[in-house]
Amino acid sequence: MKKALTIILILFTISVFGQKSPTEKAQPIVAEGKLLYKSEMASWYGTDVFLENYKDIENVGGYFSYSENATAICVFFSKSEKPKVIGTISFDSSYDVAKAKTDLTERVFTEAENDLYQIREIALRELQTNRDGLFKFYENTDPNIIPLIYDEEKKVYILTGPQQHGVVIFGNDYLLTFDKENKLVTKKQLHKNIISIEYGNVEEGVEVEGAMHSHLPETGDFITATDICTLMLYEKFAKWKTHNVVSKKYLNIWNCETDQLTVIPMSIVDKINKDQENRRKKNEK
């Protein structure tokens, strides 16, 4: 089975003439997921750096992160009617706090930062009021708000993060979209459930190479950008080699070592399984 899947993986990384492979179709999702990851990493480590250097904690109104070329930036703003930036922490791709650039100069938002701030605040109010009951809250978890402006689209993703060590959470995630004037246009739940996977209680000497979860039709055929973000945040801690996302149409295989996605139609997977079963029966005779 493993050898057959390897052959199929090679075949499906090559485009069919005149037609995109499912792996190619999913690449915009991969790109967006990696941007979410960069934002979350900047927030994780930026918070540590900022709190070590900024003493007036009562003046902190919040923070958000974004990417600027190869640099990931975490911005902290003041708690005031008209907030200003009070801290800017910048990282290269290593996210090494020793290399982080810290600027505590008070300044106004740039135009892009102001847009990120505005859509973040709207998403926060939606989350706090939860007027239509869309958002669900679970014990030992925290919602993470990630504003994103990408390909001229304004979005806010809300992920559910674990408070406990040794746990990865997929699902209970949301997407809010905005127009050019930063007005809320749509909001929806991405996964219809919450999937909690433990990785910290593995028996000593037992190696777990990966995990998987499935998607309902409402979530879509492909892995989500939030799945990719979560995987990149936790895959090294979990020591996974792969993570599979199974939908009705596709098998999405995320390589945790290379951070690359391969998508295979389930019709091909079913044929491989059937062929392997036939071979097994013949060998038993």
In a domain, 204, yes or no: no
Tens of pLDDT, residues 81-91? 999 999 999 99
- Residue 142: what pLDDT? 95
Q: Which residues contact 201 (CB under 8 A, 6 or more apart)?
A: 166
- Residue 18: what pLDDT? 56
What is the count of structural domains for the chain?
1
Please state, in angstroms and rounded to a whole number, the distance separating the CA atoms of residues 105 and 107: 6
User: Domain range holding 187?
Assistant: 2-13+22-199+209-284
pTM metric for this prediction = 0.89
Among the listed residues 194, 249, 188, the one whose alpha carbon sits nearest the alpha carbon of residue 217? 249
| Position with higher pLDDT, 283 vs 143 | 143
Q: H or E element: which one contains 2?
A: helix 2-12
pLDDT classification of 171: cutoffs 50, 70, 90: very high
In a domain, 9, yes or no: yes
Residue 123, pLDDT above cutoff 70 = yes
Tens of pLDDT, residues 192-212? 999 999 886 655 555 677 899
Looking at residue 154, the DSSP 8-state letter turns out to be E
Please state, in angstroms and rounded to a whole number, the distance separating the CA atoms of residues 267 and 43: 41
- Residue 15: what pLDDT? 47
- Residue 280: what pLDDT? 66
pLDDT classification of 138: cutoffs 50, 70, 90: very high
